[in-house]
Chain A
Amino acid sequence: MSTFIKDFIEREKVSRRNFLLASAYGISGAAALKMFGPSPVQAATHDDPAIAWSYRNRTNPYWNEIVSGGEAFVESLGKSKDALVHLINEGSSEKSLADVKALMAKESGKVALAIDTNDAPNCRPVVEAVAAAGGYVSTIWNKTDDLHPWDFGDNYVSHMTWSDEKPAEQTARILLDAIGGKGGVVHLGGIASNNPAIERLQGLKNALKDYPDVELLDAQPADWDTQKANQIMSSFITRYGDEISGVHCANDTIGYGVLEALRAEGMDIPIVTYDGNPQAVDLVREGRILATVFTNPHWGGGVTASLAYHAATGAFKPSEEPNEHREFYGPTIMVTPQDAADFKAKYLENVPTYDWKDFWGPSNGQIQYK
């Protein structure tokens, strides 16, 4: 990156920080005023709130799993799975926010909303819109670091995210050991600006520090896309040929494209992926992928809806919960050839019936900010 771009980003960060500090002051000022009078919005609970999931779309297997978890939760309440309201943003933050506002208006705020707000800055307006209408919201993945559930009383129930750096580092170590600790590796990443994409590459870089004889030959974004990954891997093969001894992929869908590019060349080198999709687990079992990481999106999708729902009905009071129950990491499970068969039987062939009231059992500790 040129110094010009670096400087520009640095400057933007600083001015954004100033802006955030100023707005934080504004909010706390408003909060201080509220202490002297009744707050306009009381956290009223609702007997039978509408349950909604707002997400990108179902074409991606990951989001498909998330939503199936949401449906399983709704069914556990004795409702039909059609009772889950789907707000599909197709990757647009504007649509995401507009849909949420429309739903709040339609249901007069009697809503339990689970949402990924598509990008981090969109999280604040979404949460504010829900809180203002008296609804309850639980978020996953995207949230700015200065926004916390406990600043919104009960209405912002929880935020869950996954720290991908450690698991990605573990898969990287498995890969680097498999190539005997020397040679070259390439990384195919997700959409360059996505947080998980950044963390998964960072995980690889962390692991590489302990393997001085391994060189990171190249890292290119493959946008989570099988076909794009396929083309980039072919180009890597042209550029580096036999220098590539292992491939680190940011997720399973990228891994499929890489495997096919290798097959076209008659090459067989170790690769590791991420996400633990059923097909990837099969490939791990066959030994064609060395490791993948399962983040249990089914559970994540269900429990996020469950948290919002049970807060909305008053079954628990979020503001009485400690901070590690409001902001926490989701589960990660490493899948390797040794345990792939067990894993598949346990998690994929029979989707476990989860206790959706065990909100924090499988979670992974409070979110840490750097």
Chain B
Amino acid sequence: MRRLPVYLLLDTSGSMMGEAIEAVKNGMQELVASLRKDPYALETAYLSVITFDTSAKQIIPLTELAAFQTPDIKASGATALGDALSLLAQKIETEVTKSSPEVKGDWKPLIFIMTDGGPTDNWEKGLKELQTKKTGEIVACAAGPSAKTEVLKKISGTVVELATADSKSISAFFKWISSSVSQAGINLEKTGADLSGPSELPPPPPEVNLVV
């Protein structure tokens, strides 16, 4: 069976402390709870969580949705986005199965990045490594006014902006991820082709603004 890999890259730097980090945790819980009700996602989606603060860590390796347990996350330290992108590139290489005549590969991974600040490390290096991998849709979310949308725009074709990193907006973003993953499932089944453009994402909810 072809799996649909979904990577969540979450900023757990010090600035996320408090309401934001709690909202991210709840958001993940809601995301998983709602995907569990979608038969296509339940059968095919695999989730991984990579957090980044002073360095990046894959706290949940690519895991079948049915077995996924929401991790506990805490906020502290800097914003090593570049490290997170490098780690993501490595994980895509090792965790995502490529198609060959002998092996039916996975779908291209969907990637969701959420950050509330500017990267504190060499993000271009990480991005370069990521660009050597085949990925599906990358959605970056700039949470709150300190996030650097111009950096995110270089990483992803779809950058969304939350005016504030409060629980309501973050929850809305996770709901959007959920419908994106469900929609991706439908599209894969429908077209048999891999995702290419942001036009295939569901329209963002009102709390989320698309950066053009």
- Chain A bound to chain B: no
Give B residues with C-beta under 8 Å from A.
none
Give A residues with C-beta under 8 Å from B.
none
